[in-house]
Amino acid sequence: MTADRTTDPGPTPGGQPARAPWWDFVHGQDAGDDRDAGPVARHRRPIGDRLPDIRPLDRVTSIKIKLGVLVAATVTLAAFITWIGLYRHLGPTRTLPLAIVLSLVLTQLLARGMTSPLREMTAAAQAMAAGDYTQRVHASSHDEVGQLAAAFNTMADDLEQSDSFRRELVANVSHELRTPVAALRAQLENMVDGISEPDEATLAAALSQTERLGRLVTYLLDLSRLEAGDAALDLEEVRLADFLQEAADGSALVAAARQVRFEVSVAPPGLTVPADPERLHQVVANLLHNAVRASPTGDVVRLVGRRSGRDVQIDVVDNGPGIAVDQRAHVFERFVRGNSPAVTGQGSTGGTGLGLAIVRWAVQLHGGAIEVADTPSGCTMRVTLPGRPAPGTGAVPRVPEP
């Protein structure tokens, strides 16, 4: 008796029984399309994964309402198909399966759009686990799933920025450490090989490179403490005129090399500001050193203190080349130099690119702000501090001893 090839195709050449055509249709495959194509072709996507991503319920603001609409639409469609079947006298054996199939198709279409952000988040999370932080989720709905997708995208942006900062930090720190170490090594090798004598100039150059390394390490430690929140303030009323004069005197050695002078003016003369003297000195000293490096030889750097409404402003003014307008918002970022050749058109003054980042953190600890003021010439770094201790700074006010 001859076998019916339509109902029983028989075994395949590999010994496995052949699948019926309905199996291939449900799983989105054509009969016989994988018998000679190898193992890759056998892993086809199910038909559900190839349905269009339809999201007609995105305007609904609650997942509960969406589920209710889904159930109502499915029941309504099933009832309508059943009514049509009974009206056409198709009988329950044909009407009921048709109603079930069409209801399942509608459920699949609507549910796929509702759960698409969840699948995208799963794929994006797997990509992030592998180190790819560029994946984002298409958040078009306004319900809880859409809010979750928006929060996921925000988290992905933060992770991408953190990863970028980590890479830049490692690269920049390596570069900043390598430059003085290489210069110091070359100077020491020259002295050991007898190429240069350990005279005063050579030793001074070596000391300069060592001090640069020390400043970089100090800046990194300060920055890590500030970001970790381990820098509580010890506030007291600081008499601004005396404080700025002491800061100018402390920077006199740095200014002497370029024959730069300091002028201090405070109005009114008895102006005070609640601040941590140590942190505020770090701010002013850093700004003074930058101003000295940028100033022409023999020029004057001015320190101006005044009241502005309820706040107190401190300006450090120099007559150097200044900072380009499009660079002013970036000079307070880590490893960005306001005196770089791309900004000033001159040679770099050798800063680490961390000083202004620490200045910004210290000023923000006081509840204040720092900016590059808009001036026609030179550069004016403006520090604005609250006239009273700002709430939420973690500061501990202290009354100075008489």
DSSP string across 156-210? HHHHHHHHHHHHHHHHHHHHHHHHHHHHHHHHHHHHHTTSS---HHHHHHHHHHH
Whether 231 has a pLDDT exceeding 70, the answer reads no
pLDDT score for 305 = 95
3-state DSSP assignment of residue 353: coil
Which among 227, 261, 279 is the end of a domain? Answer: 227
pLDDT score for 393 = 53
Percentage, residues of the chain above pLDDT 90: 20
Residues 323 and 347 in one domain: yes
pLDDT band with cut points at 50, 70 and 90 for residue 352: low
Q: Which amino acid is at 313?
A: Q
Residues 259 and 376 in one domain: yes
**Tokens standing for 167?**
């890479």
Burial (CB count <10 Å: 0-12, 13-18, 19+), residue 333: middle
- Residues 369-381 have pLDDT tens digits of 999 998 888 999 9
The CATH number given to whatever domain includes residue 169 is 1.10.287.130
pLDDT band with cut points at 50, 70 and 90 for residue 16: very low
pLDDT band with cut points at 50, 70 and 90 for residue 351: low
Specify if 355 maps to a domain: yes
The per-residue DSSP string of 91-117 comes to -HHHHHHHHHHHHHHHHHHHHHHHHHH
The CATH number given to whatever domain includes residue 350 is 3.30.565.10
More confident residue, 292 or 179: 292
Specify if 85 maps to a domain: no
The number of angstroms, rounded, from the C-alpha of 193 to the middle of its chain's C-alpha atoms is: 48
Whether 4 has a pLDDT exceeding 50, the answer reads no
Average pLDDT over every residue of 67-87: 83
pLDDT score for 120 = 85
pLDDT score for 347 = 42
Q: Which of 121, 127, 82 is nearest to 103 (CA)?
A: 82
- Residues 286-310 have pLDDT tens digits of 899 989 989 999 999 999 999 999 9
Specify if 211 maps to a domain: yes
Residues 246 and 220 in one domain: no
Specify if 193 maps to a domain: yes
More confident residue, 18 or 70: 70
Residues 334 and 267 in one domain: yes
3-state DSSP assignment of residue 237: strand
pLDDT score for 38 = 43
- Bridge partners of 177? none
| Rounded (10°) angle between helices 144-192 and 92-129 | 20
pLDDT band with cut points at 50, 70 and 90 for residue 348: very low
pLDDT score for 288 = 93
More confident residue, 98 or 392: 98
pLDDT score for 159 = 86
Lowest mean pLDDT, pick from 43-52, 174-183, 260-269: 43-52
Alpha-carbon distance of 332 to 349, in angstroms, equals 16
Specify if 306 maps to a domain: yes
pLDDT band with cut points at 50, 70 and 90 for residue 204: confident
Whether 36 has a pLDDT exceeding 70, the answer reads no
Residue with tokens 């900062």: 165
Specify if 390 maps to a domain: yes
Query: Count of domains in the chain?
Result: 2
Residues 357 and 273 in one domain: yes
Residue ranges making up the domain that contains 327: 232-397
Residues 205 and 333 in one domain: no
Alpha-carbon distance of 267 to 289, in angstroms, equals 24
Residues 242 and 200 in one domain: no
Other beta carbons less than 10 A from residue 15's beta carbon: 6
Residues 256 and 283 in one domain: yes
pLDDT score for 237 = 93
Q: Which amino acid is at 136?
A: R
Instruction: Characterise 291 by phi-psi region: left (phi > 0), alpha (psi -120 to 50), beta (else).
Output: alpha
Q: Rg of the chain over CA atoms, in angstroms? A: 36
Specify if 72 maps to a domain: no
Which among 227, 243, 278 is the end of a domain? Answer: 227
Residues 276 and 241 in one domain: yes
Residues 340 and 219 in one domain: no
Residue count of the chain, please give it.
Answer: 402
Residues 363 and 379 in one domain: yes
Residues 195 and 309 in one domain: no
Alpha-carbon distance of 28 to 23, in angstroms, equals 9
pLDDT band with cut points at 50, 70 and 90 for residue 192: confident
Which among 199, 227, 255 is the end of a domain? Answer: 227
Specify if 222 maps to a domain: yes
The mean pLDDT value of the chain amounts to 76
Percentage, residues of the chain above pLDDT 70: 74
Reported as type and span, the H/E element at residue 274 is strand 272-275
At residue 145, φ and ψ (nearest 5 deg) are: -65, -40
Average pLDDT over every residue of 279-286: 89
Specify the pTM: 0.52
